[in-house]
Amino acid sequence: ETGVTQTPRHLVMGMTNKKSLKCEQHLGHNAMYWYKQSAKKPLELMFVYSLEERVENNSVPSRFSPECPNSSHLFLHLHTLQPEDSALYLCASSRDSYTGELFFGEGSRLTVL
Amino acid sequence: AQSVTQLGSHVSVSEGALVLLRCNYSSSVPPYLFWYVQYPNQGLQLLLKYTSAATLVKGINGFEAEFKKSETSFHLTKPSAHMSDAAEYFCAVSDRRTGNQFYFGTGTSLTVIP
């Protein structure tokens, strides 16, 4: 139990669907992250939020839309995805955006048909 | 810019043998360095980290790593492998000035042979 909870753990969606991934952290951290993990590739940082403000957006396609309503919750809204978007999406949190230690959730396995 | 290279995408060791997973980094400034472990169907868990204190860092589950500036390396070792060590291991580096940008290696899959 890392203190970071992701739901759902598995998601299958069609290219025209709209779905959302949810992340909640119970650690009192101020920074939250979305990473994409694909086979044989380094983890790709997608978004960083610090104190509910987005501080990093690594050229992620607009079909991925993050939302951080408060410091404990982070969402990733998905719309008109492509099959190549199938991957494990990992949420992480840290005490602040400079601390250098991430706490990860167990991930949401996304399959786009 | 920073990057991480993990030599060997797959490493196999016998139970009880030495584990050595290699990591080399490039960084224009003194970095923070990390090793994470990922068990099947789980997220990443921090094993250990280097943040400019002692160059030999001890982590959980008997793992340790040594920061060698001259070699730009941060190799992970464990004297005696256990079956439960079978997992994916990731080396990561971050810039001390802007810690929110982590650079991960491509990972090394460790197999422990009984």
Q: What is the per-residue pLDDT for B96?
A: 66
User: What does the pLDDT average to over B44-58?
Assistant: 89
Q: To the nearest whole angstrom, how far is the Cα of A102 from the nearest Cα of chain B?
A: 8
The beta-carbon neighbor of A101 closest among B9, B49, B103 is: B49
Region A1-19: mean pLDDT is: 91
pLDDT of residue B97: 65
The values of phi and psi at residue B61, to 5°, are 60, 25
pLDDT tens-digit series, residues B24-46: 998 777 788 999 999 988 889 99
CA A23 – CA A91 distance, rounded (Å) = 6
Question: Which pLDDT belongs to residue B100?
Answer: 60
With contacts defined as CB-CB under 8 Å, which chain B residues touch A3? Answer: none
List chain B residues with CB under 8 Å of A92.
43-44
Evaluate if residue A30 carries a pLDDT over 80: yes
Banded pLDDT at A22 (limits 50, 70, 90): very high
The rounded distance, in Å, linking the Cα atoms of B76 and B101 is: 22
Place of tokens 């991925």: A64
pLDDT, residue A96, reads 75
- Residue B99 predicted with pLDDT over 60: no
* % of residues, chain A, pLDDT over 90: 67
